[in-house]
Amino acid sequence: MKIRVVNPNTTSSMTASIERCARAVAAPGTVVEAVTNTMGPASIESHYDDALAVPGLLAEIVRGEAEGADGYVIACFGDPGLYAARELARGPVLGIAEAAMHTAGFLGRGFSVVTTLGRTAGHAMDLAERYGMRHSCLGVHGTDIPVLELDDPKVRGVIAEACRSAVAADGSDAIVLGCAGMADLCDYLTTEVGVPVVDGVGAATVMVQGLLTLGLRKSGRGEFAAPPPKQYTGLLAGFTR
């Protein structure tokens, strides 16, 4: 069983950390490979970044299909390109926001999301709405720590404090980490905050693995069937199918 975890940004140190977190929860027989987007932004902190990360991400899905990947995780909390990826793949594709929100929903009545820039909060709420988890998502809290500074040891305490404040303000039962770059803080925060802390990278990995075990893949009918062949031009001519 081969699961490919795609980091939609181009920062390979972040890919390494994501891969570590995904492998830590995979079953013995499961091969987990993380790949880095080769065209797009260094980090995703706006709708603009999100949109431009998608072509490279989709190229990784196409490559994964050619190389025999069985399922995919999109390792950015904005779940960029999720539906397009689902069209391309034969097997399951999950975004980490999707996986984390559904997972947190099993743990109690409501969760808080703690994330990087406050400007992404609206998009996180849109995703909660789309996935049916709006009633459980009690708040989205920006820390205004840029994505690429998350591995600075000094920010750990700031994030822990943001989690504690969120739990108090929202009366929430769990924390959802709002960035793939926070994945390796999960254990630390669980200890510090005292409620379950859900990292979407791990959550999506076990869920994709579970879907593969169950023999389930995206439905091939209608909306998520392979996209119709089409001519592409300009810089994206290589995306012609």
Residue list 183-212, contact with a second copy (CB under 8 A) = 190, 195-196, 198-199, 202-203, 206-207, 209-211
What is the amino acid identity at position 104?
Answer: A
In angstroms, give the least distance from the CB of 157 to a second copy: 22
Environment class of 235 (CB within 10 Å of its CB; exposed 0-12, middle 13-18, buried 19+): exposed
Using CA atoms, how far residue 241 sits from 19, 127, 237, in Å, is 29, 29, 10
Provide the token pair at 12.
Answer: 């390979």
In angstroms, give the least distance from the CB of 83 to a second copy: 4
Residue list 17-46, contact with a second copy (CB under 8 A) = 25, 27-28, 37-43, 45-46
The tally of CA atoms less than 13 A away on the side-chain side of residue 9 is 24
Q: Of 158 and 226, which has the nearer Cβ to a second copy?
A: 226
Using CA atoms, how far residue 201 sits from 14, 81, 124, 135, 177, in Å, is 12, 16, 16, 22, 10
What is the amino acid identity at position 54?
Answer: V
Q: Given the rule CB under 8 A, which of 154-162, 177-185, 216-224 is the region that contacts a second copy?
A: 216-224
In angstroms, give the least distance from the CB of 5 to a second copy: 15
Q: Does 122 bind a second copy (CB under 8 A)?
A: yes
Residue list 154-183, contact with a second copy (CB under 8 A) = 171, 173-174
Residue list 76-115, contact with a second copy (CB under 8 A) = 81, 83-84, 86-88, 92, 94, 98, 102-103, 105-109
